[in-house]
Amino acid sequence: MIDVDLHNLVAVVTMGDGDRLASADIGYAQQLRDAIRDSADLDTVKAIVLRSADPDFFPPLSASQRQAAQRVRASQPRAWHAAFCAPTGLYQNLAYCKKFTLTQVAGPCAGPGSMLVLCTDHTVCADDARFEAPFADLPESNMVLAMLTLRLNRAKGWVLGEDDWDAAQAQAAGLVNRVTTRQALAGAAIEAAQAAARIPLDGVAMTKLLLEAFLDTQGIGQEFDMAPLYADALRLAELDDAQESTR
């Protein structure tokens, strides 16, 4: 279930059952993509807030979710690619969205949640948020985008380092723009979205056009194009792990 509320030039997209993304649910990814794309198409919307209906944004993936996602990628590779990482897919529609985008995060943020954060322009989080790197779970996750957002060594530290990041670390690293309390979170997110919505509509459009060109020169689109290869590599790594554990 995905709800879209329009209010004062801001569309608030609320994900119920967001964990379906963790299982690579193609239908859910399409619904979320459509909600974002349709909102962005409205001249009455300048900013889009993405949040979860659950108290926590995106808990770490369970083993069964990983297996389910692996089955989808193996059995429907083209549909998976189209829904998640192709130019028609969820993440590129968000990264290259025509309007200002914002993620509102509370509690754990892993897998698809971290990818949604990387793909949005702005992130406001609660002080109890924790951010886990998505690369071991999602072959469609975009490491170049992480390197661009965090800078090179911080991104490598997030990928290879031992821990997820708390809200303060994420803010210091440049992943998060503002940290607040859980109680103040929804208000802070709307406030940030409305601040961006003060830009004239053509200003928003021009900004996003220029941003799209910038992201492409940085290799963001090429990294998305590599996702099917990464999916194959991840499948082989998981097979190796499974064989190793049965020895």
Partner 1 sequence: MKAYGNPESLARAEDQVLLEVSPEGVARITLNRPEKHNAMTVPMRRRLMALVHQCEADDRVRVIVFAGNGKSFCSGNEINEDWGQRQPGTRRMSLSMANRYASDLNYGRQAFSQAITRCSKPTVLRLHGYCAAAAYFMIGTRCDLVVVTPSSKIGALEARFLGPAGAVSATHINRILGTKAARRYGYSGAVMTGEDALRVGLAHRCVPDEGMDAEVSRLALRLARRSPAMTHYLMKRVRAAESLFETNVREVNGMLFSHFLQAAPDEAHFWTQVKASGVAGALAADKERLAKATGDAGAAGSAPGRAHMQGMVGSP
* Positions in the binding site for partner 1 (CB under 8 A): 135-136, 143-144, 146-148, 150-157, 159-162, 173, 218-219, 222-223, 226, 230, 233-234, 236-238, 240-241, 244
Nearer to partner 1, 57 or 165 (CB): 165
Nearer to partner 1, 34 or 212 (CB): 212
d(CA 232, CA 171): 33
Nearer to partner 1, 42 or 159 (CB): 159
Q: How, if at all, do strands 47-52 and 10-15 pair?
A: parallel
d(CA 34, CA 210): 23
Nearer to partner 1, 100 or 158 (CB): 158
Residue 46: CB minimum distance to partner 1, A: 29
For residue 17, count other CB atoms closer than 10 A to its CB. 14
Structure tokens at 26: 């193609």
Q: Of 148, 159, 136, 168, which Cα lies nearest the Cα of 222?
A: 148
d(CA 53, CA 41): 23
For residue 150, count other CB atoms closer than 10 A to its CB. 20
d(CA 23, CA 58): 12
